[in-house]
């Protein structure tokens, strides 16, 4: 029981990361109907931005974290404007957007290697390293609490934004039918920019917190990005609660799998789940079936 509780907490912490990143895949897919593979690199970018803020500019953590959320959101918008919008306005097929996004992610990764070296960086100590003991049953480090807290807070904020603000409703309308939304007077480009900004800040929160929990390196977005993508599809791509469900499901299942089955297959679990979902419920656990022309 002790081991089970600990593994559950381990799974929740890592699941929070997947959930935060997965929601970005879902949002962008919702409005543009393509998988933005550059999303994982926003996460890496954010970790470096906050690291730079703290090490080079000597900013306090809260400022560096907040700054990184804004800068990464803007970076995400810039990627959309420079790389995707020209293609979108030319009416290029979604496949072209997808390939472009892979290019963007390679560009970001390699630019970091060139300007910041490929070495591992350690985040300055912000939280105490002494862990919180839960009645001798399990331990939880402060960074995991922060991670889970941030993930849940952002989920609630996102829910409120999407359902109770004008722009949120506009984004939903856009996701439902882009042309009809445009005819109703919604500024499509603005709504898309908002979507990318939100996706970028969510990934940024994940990036900074993973950087604190582990270390910072240019490949940070790689494995976390791909697993979060699996989480988005498992939960139902296009569905915001679905991406959270998928993220926590994969986090907990792979942790339990490593703990009780075999640690050799830990990374495979996310992808086995992905294949199973695609075979038996292609729209994902909470996704609506949608008519897709590819």
Nearer to another protein, 80 or 144 (CB): 144
Question: What is the bridge-based pairing of β-strands 138-140 and 132-134?
Answer: antiparallel
Nearer to another protein, 80 or 254 (CB): 254
Residues that bind another protein (CB under 8 A): 2-3, 6-7, 10-11, 13-14, 113, 117-120, 122, 125, 129, 131, 133, 139, 141, 210, 214-215, 217, 219, 222-223, 254-256, 258-259, 263-264, 266-267
Residue 129 CA to residue 142 CA, distance in Å, equals 7
Shortest reach from residue 47's CB to another protein, in Å: 12
**Cα atoms in the 13 Å half-sphere on the side-chain side of 142:** 7
Nearer to another protein, 159 or 214 (CB): 214
Shortest reach from residue 139's CB to another protein, in Å: 5
Q: Yes or no: say if 172 and 185 are a contact pair by the CB < 8 Å rule.
A: no
Q: Yes or no: say if 256 and 6 are a contact pair by the CB < 8 Å rule.
A: no
Nearer to another protein, 66 or 222 (CB): 222
Shortest reach from residue 9's CB to another protein, in Å: 9
Nearer to another protein, 119 or 177 (CB): 119
Nearer to another protein, 239 or 255 (CB): 255
Shortest reach from residue 138's CB to another protein, in Å: 9
For residue 167, which of 201, 198, 199, 191 has the smallest C-alpha distance? 191
Determine the Cα angle at 67 with ends 200 and 125, to 5°.
105
Nearer to another protein, 195 or 255 (CB): 255
For residue 122, which of 55, 37, 38, 34 has the smallest C-alpha distance? 55
Residue 57 CA to residue 250 CA, distance in Å, equals 37
Dihedral sign, Cα of residue 134, residue 256, residue 230, residue 83: positive
Q: Virtual CA dihedral for 68, 73, 76, 80, nearest 10 degrees? A: -160
Q: What is the largest CA-CA distance in the chain?
A: 61
Residue 37 CA to residue 94 CA, distance in Å, equals 13
């Amino acid at each position: 029981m002790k081991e089970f509780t600990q593994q559950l907490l381990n799974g929740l912490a890592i699941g929070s990361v997947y959930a935060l990143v997965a929601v970005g895949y879902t949002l962008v897919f919702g409005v543009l109907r393509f998988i933005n593979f550059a999303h994982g690199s926003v996460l890496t970018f954010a970790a470096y931005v906050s690291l730079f803020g703290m090490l080079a500019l000597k900013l306090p953590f809260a400022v560096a974290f907040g700054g990184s959320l804004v800068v990464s959101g803007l970076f995400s918008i810039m990627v959309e404007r420079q790389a995707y919008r020209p293609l979108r306005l030319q009416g290029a097929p979604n496949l072209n957007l997808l390939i472009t996004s892979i290019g963007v992610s390679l560009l970001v990764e390699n630019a970091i290697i060139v300007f910041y070296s490929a070495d591992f960086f350690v985040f300055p100590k912000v939280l105490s390293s002494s862990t919180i003991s839960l009645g001798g049953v399990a331990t939880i480090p402060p960074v995991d609490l922060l991670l889970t807290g941030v993930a849940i807070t952002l989920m609630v904020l996102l829910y409120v934004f999407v359902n109770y603000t004008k722009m949120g409703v506009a984004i939903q309308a856009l996701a439902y039918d882009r042309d009809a939304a445009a005819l109703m007077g919604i500024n499509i480009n603005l709504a898309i920019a908002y979507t990318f900004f939100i996706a970028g800040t969510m990934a940024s929160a994940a990036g900074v917190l993973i950087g604190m929990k582990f270390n910072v390196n240019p490949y940070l977005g790689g494995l976390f990005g791909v697993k979060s993508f699996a989480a988005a599809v498992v939960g139902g791509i296009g569905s915001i609660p679905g991406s959270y469900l998928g993220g926590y499901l994969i986090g907990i299942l792979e942790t339990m799998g490593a703990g009780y089955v075999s640690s050799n297959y830990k990374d495979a679990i996310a992808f086995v789940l992905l294949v199973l979902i695609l075979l038996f419920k292609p729209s994902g656990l909470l996704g609506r079936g949608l008519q897709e022309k590819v």
